Copies of this chain bind each other. A is one copy, B any other.
């Protein structure tokens, strides 16, 4: 809930009433950067492509592939993105969608820093992790490397109860409840909603909210790096995931949340799959992304019933048991129903407390 209200009132020149867009360029030249969160699933593990920031060899951190947007060279943002992603990593992106534009990174600059402002536009791309796609730079790293609290594949991750919950509660208690306007939700409530504390349900889509809460509370490394006061109030902090350059972890969190949401109402899983696959492989891929809460028989029924797949006629043997039929994505669904996706129900509250 971005409810920040700016109290400032600047003088109103006549000109501000004119909707001439050319004004903007004169007033605030900034650089446009494109960040790509390139997502795949490799061996039932959800991964993202990371590169190493070499800006400072000593303190090299992970980063998302990044490139400038040059409007003279590329007509569209997405075109520019595809071009440098290919140059930089060797990947030809298939599916790509815009995520969010981040510009409020003043907090990342040292006071007095005069470096130019950069607006970065985050993109989500889905691809297959197979080596056949000619990756030349960067490495696939598990999502959960950066966000261990998101990994519910073996039940509720320990880090939540052990490291996160007590500190967030302490952080919440530390506050006078200032203006409810600026902070529409109290800290304790936000912590409860985000991390499913006290019996509240876990919402796998709130990836960004969770990361930002940890940032605000000063728990993730980026908070300390950025000089957040809240980060100075802790001692002996354990590791809350691997940090990334500037705000790349925010962008990747946005990408993960979007992927988890979108997979449910658009047939985007198939961007992550090879041409032919078994239904169980498909299920494993969905579970890698959402968490393992799927009933096998029902998953089959839903996917087949929605007309999302069709059998190729072949079977895949060596599955360890009865050979599985191979299926392919039925592209025609796109011409039939308006919005099919892999509908999956909410997990039956595997939350322990409830």
Chain A residues with a Cβ under 8 A of chain B: 2-6, 8-10, 12, 16-33, 51-55, 63-80, 82-84, 86-88, 92, 94-98, 100-101, 103-104, 106-107, 115-121, 137, 185, 189, 192-193, 201, 203, 206, 245-246, 334-335, 337-339
Chain B residues contacting A189 (CB-CB under 8 Å) are 335
Q: Is the CB of A87 within 8 A of B9?
A: yes
- Which of B3, B16, B84, B106 has a CB less than 8 Å from the CB of A16? B84
Q: Which residues of B contact A115 (CB under 8 A)?
A: 22, 25
Residues of the B chain whose Cβ atoms lie less than 8 Å from the Cβ of A32: 24, 28, 30, 103, 119
Instruction: Give the residue name and chain of the B residue nearest to A331 (CB).
Output: B184
A303 vs B76: C-alpha distance when bound (angstroms): 42
Q: Which of A5, A6, A51, A63 has the most CB of B within 10 A?
A: A6
- Name the residue on B nearest A93 (C-beta): B5
- Can you sample 15 A-B contacts with CB below 8 Å? A4-B76, A5-B82, A10-B87, A12-B88, A16-B87, A20-B55, A22-B115, A24-B32, A25-B31, A25-B118, A30-B31, A30-B32, A30-B71, A72-B117, A103-B121
Q: Which residues of B have CB within 8 Å of A70?
A: 27-28
Chain B residue nearest to A246 (CB atoms) is B21
Distance (Å) between the CB of A19 and the closest chain B CB? 4
Task: Give the oligomeric copy count.
Answer: 2
Chain B positions within 8 Å of A79 at CB level? 4, 6, 104
Which residue of chain B is the closest to A94 with respect to CB atoms? B3
Shortest C-beta distance, A326 to chain B (Å), equals 23
- Known contacts A16-B67, A16-B88, A28-B31; 7 additional CB pairs below 8 A are A3-B94, A12-B87, A25-B118, A27-B31, A30-B30, A30-B71, A201-B337
Question: Do the beta carbons of A69 and B103 come within 8 Å of each other?
Answer: yes
In the complex formed, the residue of B with least CB distance to A116 is B25
- On chain B, the residues within 8 Å of A74 by CB distance are 6
B30 lies within 8 A of A82 (CB)? no
- From known contacts A31-B27, A96-B2, A189-B335, infer whether A73 and B10 are also in contact, taking CB-CB under 8 Å: yes
Instruction: Give the contacting residue for A101; candidates B24, B95, B101, B107; CB below 8 A.
Output: B101
Q: Which residue of B lies closest to A190 (CB)?
A: B335
The chain B residue with its CB closest to the CB of A6 is: B79
Q: Which of B8, B72, B75, B95 contacts A83 (CB 8 A)?
A: B8
A95 contacts which chain B residues (CB < 8 A)? Answer: 3
- Return the contact of A339 from the options B16, B54, B203 (Cβ within 8 A): B203
Query: What are the nearest 6 A-B pairs in CB distance?
Result: A25-B31, A25-B116, A24-B68, A24-B31, A76-B104, A29-B29
Nearest B residue (CB) for A11: B87
- How far apart are A290's CB and chain B's nearest CB, in angstroms? 14
Contacts of A68 in B (CB 8 A): 23-24, 27-28
Nearest chain B residue, comparing its CB with the CB of A82: B6
How many Å from the CB of A246 to the closest CB on chain B? 6
Among B33, B51, B106, B203, point to the contact of A75 (Cβ < 8 A).
B106
